[in-house]
A = this chain, B = another copy of it.
Amino acid sequence: MNIKYPNGQSYQVNVDKVQAKKQVKTKKTTYSNRGMTLENDLNVTNEQYLAKGLAVIHKKPIPIQVVNVNYPKRSAAKITEAYYQKASTTDYNGVYKGFYLDFEAKETKNKTSFPLKNFHEHQILHMKACCDQKAICFILLRFSSLNRVFVLPFEKLNWWWNQQSEEKGKKSIPLKQIELEGIEINYGFSPRLPYLDAVDQMIQSNIS
């Protein structure tokens, strides 16, 4: 049988190549490219929310200290020496129905728990200060190997953060607990990651 590609080209089986491929140790499906997907998905989602007039949420730029800039003629200013600075806040904030939202988004390749080392003291302190001002603070967690995403309210994260220093304190949050304490987000088309549904639940449970 003459197999053809959709573009009309004939499909030529190259026996040598097929055998060579078979000798390659069968690899498990890799998810190595998924490291940036949560950030991309959130950027798309935030644009969709903005376009629909539902919320104004942006990722903050990475703080960079500029030391040297060249101004070549007829072209854009070129920064030739700069250094990354330590952030003092979380990555995302914005406004939704009069509420100030503040959150951090992280991914793990782990399948059974989310390591707390993904978070930093300054992020915890920042979210605590925001919560004291009646902000809605949470973390967005993605298990990249499972492709599952959760919203976990800050007060839950804070509990897990604090127990780390206790005797027999865990260094990660078990997925089973995240399933109980968090709100799972299912991927959609528009919005791609409808995390405001989880925020609505957080608002309702705070009010009622």
Contact = CB atoms under 8 A, between A and B. Distances in A.
A56 B135 contact: yes
Interface in A77-115: 77-85, 88-89, 93-100, 102
A53 B93 contact: no
A55 interface: yes
A58 B76 CA distance: 28
A146 interface: no
Interface of A: 50, 53, 55-56, 58, 60-64, 66, 76-85, 88-89, 93-100, 102, 126, 129-130, 132-135
A93 to B, nearest CB: 7
A47 to B, nearest CB: 10
B58 A61 contact: no
Contacts of A56: 126, 129-130, 133, 135
Contact of A100 (B60, B79, B98, B132): B98
A81 B72 CA distance: 13
A77 B99 CA distance: 37
A76 B81 contact: no
Given A94-B100, A95-B135, 12 more contacts: A53-B132, A55-B133, A60-B61, A61-B61, A64-B82, A78-B83, A82-B82, A95-B130, A96-B133, A98-B100, A98-B134, A98-B135
